[in-house]
Amino acid sequence: MKLVLATNNQGKVKELDEMLKPLGFQVIPIGEYPGFSEVEEDGETFTDNAVKKARAAAAFTGELSLADDSGLEVDALDGAPGVHSARFAGEPKNDAANNDKLLLLLRDVPQEKRTARFRCVIAIAQPDGTIHTTDGTCEGLILGELKGVGGFGYDPLFYVPEHKQTFAELDLENKNSISHRGKALKKAMELLYRLYTNQEG
């Protein structure tokens, strides 16, 4: 059973592929379908963007498609960067620039007030337009310097107190077990299995 991932972010593809393998899906990044135009993420919420991307991928490929939209919500910044996480420092997307801007904005904020969370919404779209969504969050703190070389995005700054490591320091298995995306995908896996068995039988 094919499952199209509506993303060209190789970090996301790697994480999602690892988690979806046990279900027996053939995971295919949208980049393997020439001619698909990147969807403008102009929604006001993570759900808006995830649904828009999943629906566009399913319509273009004719396959069951999965998209996620996720971002960082920093309490001291009133929830920013939120849905603008990927382009926080402007166009084009640049992880280093985003992290630099975040550190600059939080430079005078004491560590105990640098609370934040990653939030993820996953949308699953069937070719007929049917949509299902799940979500997940992970609480943490924003450090004053980058730590770790794994992951992507804000991972080197996002510290999880229970594990005493940043997302960029955790190995992929541990990260997937606690991450916002991991939690959202776990909820989605039962749904995907149900969709798979329905289509098969």
CA distance 199 to 129: 15
Catalytic residue among 68, 69, 135, 155: 69
With a CB cutoff of 8 Å and minimum separation 6, the contacts of 12 are 5, 68, 152, 181
Chain CA centroid to CA 73, Å: 13
Give the pair of three-digit tokens for residue 9: 């972010």
Look at the block and give the residue holding tokens 């006001």. Answer: 44
Residue with tokens 């926080």: 88
Annotated active-site residue 69? The verdict is yes
The catalytic residues are 69
